[in-house]
């Protein structure tokens, strides 16, 4: 997630450079052909291009609004994960009550329920950031963070880690293990029927949050929106220099570049925000949120070994 109020021009130029080069070269070529070779037929009525500009602006507005809704929904889902993580920790610490027997086992289960939850949040982050072939853009990202399941090893046992990694959906398996421990606590008399149901309901909420996140991850923005926005921006940008060359002469070059950059930027805003789980600088900051959950759970448990909060890198929080 970009936090800096001023965007880096380095980043902007990097992600738009190929089309910008095309538009710059085209604007210069149109001027050279028109002025130096005196070919006056290279002219398009301004009204035709203006009509296309209006239609394209409306189209990009709708597309970007839809893309932002996907990004904002992802942020709301992970905000709920933070809130329910705090509730889960409180319930584990206050609603699972020892009965004087098997105290050591009680403490182990309580510890597992809390630290395994931290593992679940981090496993879900890694799971969502795994790349799908249909979302590959062949663009090397300027900022990426490590995305490996090995980061959950410190929160669960070696046996649980090996078992979890054998599953196609690791975070879902961790929730299943949480349910197994709740069942054990209930059978040992540490949970009443009511408290067992309440903890199970909180666990179900995490299943819902995972499912909602997977829905966004596995259902891309309808492809015609993205495809035709790129096509229309390219067509529009190609026509722009021909609409102003007769009246403006050399001034057509900077004006065409500015107009094309505006529409190009609008297109890229939507394209970069429509998929919020791709381990990119525009994404929902899953790494920072995971650290927040770890910090909250450990602090509630009394663990003084709190994680260090991630800092911004070039104005970006991942």
**Band of the pLDDT at 17, cuts 50, 70, 90?**
confident
Please say if the pLDDT value at position 298 is more than 90. yes
- Measured over the CA atoms of residue 223, residue 229, residue 230 and residue 231, the dihedral's sign is positive
Mean pLDDT of all residues in the chain?
88
**Band of the pLDDT at 3, cuts 50, 70, 90?**
low
**Burial profile 1-38: b = 16 or more Cβ within 10 angstroms, e = fewer:** bbeeeeeeeebeeebbeebbeebbebbbebbeebeeee
H runs (alpha helix) in 166-285: 170-187, 193-218, 223-248, 252-273
Whole-prediction pTM value? Answer: 0.89
What pLDDT does 284 receive?
87
* Whole-angstrom distance, CA of residue 18 vs CA of residue 20: 5
| Residue (of 47, 281, 296, 293) closest to 145 by Cα position | 281
What is the per-residue pLDDT across 133-154, written as a single tens digit (0 to 9) for each? Answer: 777 777 787 777 888 999 999 9
What pLDDT does 31 receive?
82
Question: What's the DSSP call for residue 313?
Answer: B
CB 256 within 8 A of CB 3: no
* Whole-angstrom distance, CA of residue 306 vs CA of residue 146: 20
More confident position, 278 or 41 = 278
Angle at 14 between CA 10 and CA 20, to 5 degrees: 110
What is the per-residue pLDDT across 38-97, written as a single tens digit (0 to 9) for each? Answer: 666 667 777 888 888 899 999 999 899 999 999 999 999 999 999 999 999 999 999 988
Average pLDDT over residues 210-220: 93
What pLDDT does 36 receive?
72
* Whole-angstrom distance, CA of residue 121 vs CA of residue 125: 6
Average pLDDT over residues 142-168: 90
- Whole-Å CA distances, 59 to 23, 144, 272: 21, 31, 16
Cα of first residue to Cα of last residue in the chain, in angstroms, is 6
* Whole-angstrom distance, CA of residue 44 vs CA of residue 41: 9
Q: Which two tokens stand for residue 12?
A: 């902007």
What pLDDT does 194 receive?
92
**Band of the pLDDT at 103, cuts 50, 70, 90?**
confident
In sequence order, the β-bridge partners of residue 183 are none
Q: Tell me if residue 80 falls in helix, strand or coil.
A: helix
Least confident of 5-19, 34-48, 94-108, 203-217: 34-48
Contacts 24+ apart (CB under 8 A), 20-25: 20/257, 20/260, 20/261, 20/264, 22/237, 23/237, 23/240, 23/256, 23/257, 23/260, 23/261, 23/264, 24/253, 24/257
């Amino acid at each position: 997630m970009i936090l800096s109020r001023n965007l880096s021009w380095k980043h902007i130029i990097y992600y738009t450079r190929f089309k910008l080069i095309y538009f710059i070269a085209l604007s210069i070529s149109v001027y050279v052909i028109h002025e130096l070779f005196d070919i006056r037929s290279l002219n398009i009525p301004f009204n035709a291009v203006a009509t296309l500009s209006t239609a394209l602006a409306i189209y990009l507005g709708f597309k970007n609004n839809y893309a932002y809704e996907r990004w904002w929904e992802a942020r709301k889902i992970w905000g709920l994960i933070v809130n329910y993580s705090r509730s889960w920790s409180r319930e584990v610490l206050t609603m699972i009550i020892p009965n004087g027997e098997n105290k050591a086992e009680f403490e182990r289960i309580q510890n597992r329920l809390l630290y395994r939850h931290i593992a679940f949040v981090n496993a879900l982050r890694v799971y969502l950031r795994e790349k799908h072939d249909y979302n590959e853009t062949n663009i090397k990202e300027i900022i990426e963070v490590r995305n490996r399941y090995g980061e959950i090893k410190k929160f669960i046992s070696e046996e649980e880690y090996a078992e979890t990694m054998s599953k196609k959906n690791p975070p879902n398996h961790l929730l299943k293990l949480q349910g197994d421990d709740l069942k054990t606590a209930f059978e040992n008399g540490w949970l009443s029927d009511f408290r067992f149901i309440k903890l199970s309901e909180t666990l179900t909420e995490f299943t819902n949050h995972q499912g909602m996140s997977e829905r966004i991850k596995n259902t891309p923005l309808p492809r015609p929106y993205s495809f035709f926005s790129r096509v229309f921006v390219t067509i529009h940008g190609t026509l722009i220099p021909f609409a102003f060359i007769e009246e403006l002469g050399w001034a057509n070059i900077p004006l065409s570049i500015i107009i094309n950059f505006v529409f190009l930027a609008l297109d890229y805003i939507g394209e970069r925000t429509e998929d919020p789980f791709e381990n990119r600088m525009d994404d929902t900051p899953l790494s920072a949120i995971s650290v927040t959950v770890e910090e909250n759970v450990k602090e509630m448990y009394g663990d003084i070994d709190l994680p260090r909060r991630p800092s911004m890198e070039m104005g970006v929080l991942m």
